[in-house]
Amino acid sequence: MEGADYLAAERKKTEFDVEEMKIVWAGSRHAFEVSDRISKLVANDPAFRKDERTMLPRKELFKNTLRKATYAWKRINELRLSEEEASKLRFYVDEPSFTDLHWGMFVPAIKGQGTDEQQRKWLPLAYKMQIIGCYAQTELGHGSNVQGLETTATFDPQTDEFVIHSPTLTSSKWWPGGLGKVSTHGLVYARLITDGQEHGIHGFIVQLRCLEDHKPLPGITIGDIGMKFGNGAYNTMDNGVLRFDHVRIPRDQMLMRVSRVTREGKVVESDVPRQLVYGTMVFVRQTIVQDASCALSRAVCIATRYSAVRRQFGSQNGGPETQVIDYKTQQSRLFPLLASAYAFRFVGEWLNWLYTDVMRRLQANEFSTLPEVHACTAGLKSLTTSVTADGIEECRKLCGGHGYLCTSGLPELFAVYVPACTYEGDNIVLQLQVARILMKTVSQLSSGKPPVGTMAYLGRIEPLMQYQCNVQKAKDWLNPNVVLEAFEARAARMSVSCAQKLSQFSYPEEGFAELSADLVEASVAHCQLIVVSKFIEKLQQDIPGKRVKQLLEVLCGIYSLALLHKHQGDFLATSCVTPKQASLANDQLRELYTQVRPNAIALVDAFNYTDHFLGSILGRYDGNVYPKLYEAAWKDPLNESVVPDGYHQYIRPLLKQQLRAAKL
């Protein structure tokens, strides 16, 4: 039986309507139809092929990326695609490029931080790509600590200009995507200085290259920072280095929606609340969480399909060997990742709603929920990207030796994705920020001020501290309220424990540094609770198809009980569950794996990914793995000749014992 037959047989086992699940995954029928149409458009266009990407030298790889990005823009205009459709097309092209930062950071920052007049000037140029922008914040010496940035923007009242300068080597801008070779403009973050006084970090639009010959403007040193992790992968992106030598720009190129500098050099706060920057932050982090679900689901799709194709051991009387997916050791590693992909998808949908809600509150000058929103989005960015990066690597290992091949798609997917654990906030730093707000919330519980949003459960701190799990048999863990209470009690008790330990220190910052590892664990527990609660809330919505909803309930159970099993030390140490109850949870988890097993292939088919987008021989929809692996091997440049280059110079002298005469 060939691989294609294996997957056909798997699909016959399906117990739910895959088309209905595709709509649930996409978020709506409209979103599914747009995604389906655009993904097939890209997959069927030979200009977007990517199967040779891992074998190209860096210069050729980068030039090919420029071609694809430009061709994509051409097709967007020819087809008159909407903003939603254009975004999907860039997503399915699946190649990091300068356009990611132009559309994902440069344009949103101008929309969020520029005045109406600045938006009228710069956005039309950016929308037409008559200028190409990047987001130049991170420096060689500072990343997470934005307040430590060293680049200066000093106002010169005599010329009505800012002087942008890099005073030290470590003040060099370092890492901005698109900066190295492509961007014509940068949104540069620098220390604002007027009349000898510093006024914090502000953003400035700076032209970097001539719009005629693309050469750097006077006073600007600019280039690429070099090769990065992986074959192909993020090396399609020109992450750059940038230094300024007293570069002058007009005063009106400082983004002045929140604060402005007058002609006389006075810094004046505008009527627009500074908190508006939260809107851009929530938007970016919501996108990152959605990207996490996409990246993890790709890896899970590859690993699940290959696990059904691959057979190893267990042959009875000369019959077929056992499918790898039938081993419980495989299921216990794979199915929680499948459940996590769905969980992250749904929490990403909720963050999209949260962004709309935050913007509405900001317009109404309502800022009371902002600290909690910051904590929530920071924590979820950290949690989902960490789990996804680890999950992709786990999927590679789940595919055995073949997972190490570039043609599996997994090494490149990991190399492309893993920077997400660092950009837009280092994941540990973000969890510590969440912990600060958790500690502040716990300290204010006695003031009568109720916690809000995802921290509202802390308002029930007394019953949560007295909570005793009443699970008596394994099936009791199928009750979502039982699961939710256990996760709430664990998160609350870990936060309270940290707060109590902090109170014993004379200097709070000393305590925070000493207890930082414990605080990160409390923060992670809080964030896991958010994901569990949003998965449960999703199940309370109107979901098409009874069996679809039942399978999602099973996935929700796997996600939560797998977490409970993995972190049972927390649950036991905080007395949220007994050892017997933890054991029952694991018994129920194994039963849920059994329920998912016949539907596993259909659950990953519901992601609706084309073979082009997956970029994996192991994850092919038709399951025809082995012939395609064999065929791909002969396409490697090393196989262009039977006798390798260097044979006569190195190998032959070695074999003939003529090394003394060889020119090595």
Express each pLDDT in 344-400 by its tens digit: 999 999 999 998 888 888 878 888 788 888 889 999 999 999 999 999 999 999 999
Kindly state the average pLDDT of the residues 209-219.
Answer: 97
Q: What is the pLDDT of residue 239?
A: 96
The pLDDT value recorded for residue 34 is 97
Angstrom distances, CA of residue 87 to CA of 393, 421, 503, 658: 27, 23, 49, 61
pLDDT at 1 over 60: no
Note the pLDDT tens digit of each residue in 437-451. Answer: 999 999 999 888 899
The pLDDT value recorded for residue 477 is 98
Tell me how far apart the alpha carbons of residues 105 and 283 are, in angstroms, rounded to a whole number. 10
The SS3 call for residue 196 is coil
Which pLDDT belongs to residue 338? 98
Contacts of 144 (CB under 8 A, 6+ apart): 425, 426, 429
Residues 6+ apart with CB under 8 A from 339: 555, 556, 558, 559, 562
Which of 37-41, 111-115, 118-122, 156-160 is predicted least confidently?
A: 111-115
pLDDT in tens, 509-518: 999 999 999 9
Sequence-ordered list of residues with C-beta below 8 angstroms from that of 372, at least 6 positions apart, any chain? 437, 441, 451, 452, 453, 454, 455
| Helix spans in 399-479 (H) | 410-417, 427-443, 461-466
How far is it, in rounded angstroms, from Cα 324 to Cα 332? 12
Residue 112 pLDDT greater than 90, yes or no: no
φ, ψ of residue 536 to 5 degrees: the values are -65, -40
**pLDDT at residue number 507:** 94
**Distance (Å, whole) CA 644 – CA 641:** 6
Tell me the H-state helices in 399-426.
410-417
Please, what is the angle between helix 58-78 and helix 83-93, to 10°? Answer: 150
pTM: 0.94
pLDDT of residue 3: 61
* Rounded Cα gap, residues 255 and 268, in angstroms: 13
Angle at 514 between CA 510 and CA 518, to 5 degrees: 130
Distance CA 436, CA 455 (A): 13
pLDDT of 280 reads 76
Tokens of 204: 């400035």
Axis crossing angle, helix 410-417 with helix 370-398, rounded to the nearest 10: 160
What pLDDT, on the 0 to 100 scale, is given for residue 489? 98
For residue 5, pLDDT over 80 is answered with: no
Backbone angles phi, psi at 567, to 5 degrees: -110, 30
How far is residue 538 CA from its own chain's centroid? 21
For 163, the token pair is: 């002087």
Catalytic residue among 10, 412, 424, 485: 424
Predicted confidence (pLDDT) per residue in 403-441, tens digit: 999 999 999 999 999 999 998 889 999 999 999 999 999
Is residue 266 scored above 90 in pLDDT? yes
Residues 6+ apart with CB under 8 A from 171: 139, 140, 141, 149, 150, 151, 152, 243
Task: List the single range of 58-62, 133-137, 279-283, 480-484 with lowest mean pLDDT.
Answer: 279-283
pLDDT band at 567 (very low <50, low <70, confident <90, very high): very high
| Average of per-residue pLDDT across 310-326 | 89
Residue 37 has a pLDDT of 98
Model confidence at 2, in pLDDT bands (50, 70, 90)?
low
- β-partners of residue 136 are 188
Report the distance separating Cα 188 and Cα 636, nearest Å: 42
Look up residue 58 and give its two tokens.
Answer: 């860096």
Distance, in Å, from the CA atom of 233 to the CA atom of 96, rounded to the nearest integer, reads 8
Mean pLDDT to the nearest integer, 79-89? 96
Q: What is the pLDDT of residue 664?
A: 79
Percent of the chain residues past pLDDT 70, beyond the cut: 99
- What is the residue-averaged pLDDT of the chain? 94
Residue type, 336: P
Collapse the DSSP code of 15 into the 3-class scheme (helix H, G, I; strand E, B; otherwise coil) and give the result. coil
Active site residue 20: no
Q: What is the pLDDT of residue 271?
A: 77
